[in-house]
Amino acid sequence: MTTPGPETLTHLDVSGRAIAVRAIPGQGPGVMWLGGFKSDMMGGKAQALADWAVRRGQNFLRFDYSGHGESGGRFVDGTISQWLEEAIAVFDCATHGPQILVGSSMGGWVALLLARALAARGEKRLAGMVLIAPAPDFTETLMWARFSPEVQQQILSAGRFERPSEYSDEPYVITRALIEDGRRHLVLGTPFAVGCPVRILQGARDEDVPWQHAMTLVSCLAEDDVVFSLVKDGDHRLSRPEDLERLVTVVESLL
């Protein structure tokens, strides 16, 4: 299936899950978008990068995790392991040559895990990484640790908790599987390297992922070239016109 213009939509089978992938052909290095928790690839930041890629003639790829957007599967069945498996499959099957990863919120965690997986097999295709309000370890530090004992007990006994969302009429369903699986992928607390330049954009008024959380990540990336940019009046989304312009500028700086 082909959408109007140069962008194509295909579906990649990953362990029986149909993962929607949109790709814009162009010059390298490629830019790969990794979205956030319960976000989809048609959101403002991803679309701004797609529009930029068309104008510039830059290779750009975005995809939806299972249970998100145009991909198959149920959101409540998702875990970090599952969404990481999909990101690796998309990277392996749909990208070629050097790549710049752009990860938003949970996508920042997935990007870091993807970089670790690539390093483990000796693959050096990452040309850079742009993280927007990165939320590594969010299931543990930003969810579980903040939940009341009553909510924690509900998750343990019932297997799920419906958390109200500021961004949707439907609540976020937080499952026991998501929490327990997240503990297998924690990255903060000990130094590690991704082996490429890292640029972090963070809103000072972000109530979902506080800027101090992103600074913890900075301290862990001691060996990498890291630039941390704090947007004084920015929120979690960082989707205002000036935020989108800033994002494009940062991505261009890594080309």
What b/e sequence results for 85-116 when a residue is b if at least 16 CB atoms lie within 10 Å of its CB, and e otherwise? bbbbbbbeebbeebbbbbbbbbbbbbbbbbbb
Q: What does each C-alpha distance from 136 to 15, 47, 185, 186 come to in angstroms? A: 24, 23, 9, 7
224-240 average pLDDT score: 97
The pLDDT of residue 167 is above 90:
no
Q: Report the pLDDT value the prediction gives residue 171, as an integer from 0 to 100.
A: 84
- Active-site choice (66, 68, 105, 181): 105
CATH class, domain 8-137+188-253, is alpha beta
Cα angle 16, 17, 18 (rounded to 5 degrees) comes to 120
Of 158, 148, 175, 6, the closest CA to residue 76 belongs to 175
Tokens describing residue 237 = 């989304």
Whether the CB-CB separation of 173 and 162 falls below 8 Å is answered with yes
With a pLDDT cut of 90, the percent of the chain lying above it is 93
Distance, in Å, from the CA atom of 149 to the CA atom of 155, rounded to the nearest integer, reads: 10
Q: Which amino acid is at 243?
A: D
Q: Report the pLDDT value the prediction gives residue 4, as an integer from 0 to 100.
A: 39
Residue 77 CB contacts under 8 Å (≥ 6 apart), including other chains: 66, 67
pLDDT in tens, 113-141: 999 999 999 999 999 999 999 999 999 99
- Active-site choice (206, 208, 213, 243): 206
Is 105 tagged catalytic? yes
Whether the CB-CB separation of 117 and 109 falls below 8 Å is answered with no
Is 225 tagged catalytic? no
Whether the CB-CB separation of 102 and 34 falls below 8 Å is answered with yes
Residue 153 CB contacts under 8 Å (≥ 6 apart), including other chains: none
Hey, which residues does 161 pair with through a beta bridge?
Answer: 174
pLDDT in tens, 25-37: 999 999 999 999 9
Hey, which residues does 162 pair with through a beta bridge?
Answer: 173
Tell me the pLDDT band of 5, cut-offs 50, 70 and 90: low
Tokens describing residue 65 = 């995790």
The strand order across the sheet containing 126-132 reads: 8-14, 17-24, 58-63, 27-34, 99-104, 126-132, 198-203, 226-231
- Active-site choice (185, 208, 236, 243): 236
The pLDDT of residue 164 is above 90:
no
The pLDDT of residue 2 is above 50:
no
Is 206 tagged catalytic? yes
- How crowded is residue 188: how many other Cβ atoms within 10 Å of its Cβ? 16
The pLDDT of residue 41 is above 90:
yes
Q: Where are the domains of the chain?
A: 8-137+188-253
Of 29, 19, 28, 21, the closest CA to residue 3 belongs to 21
With a pLDDT cut of 70, the percent of the chain lying above it is 98
pLDDT in tens, 43-102: 999 999 999 999 999 999 999 999 999 999 999 999 999 999 999 999 999 999 999 999
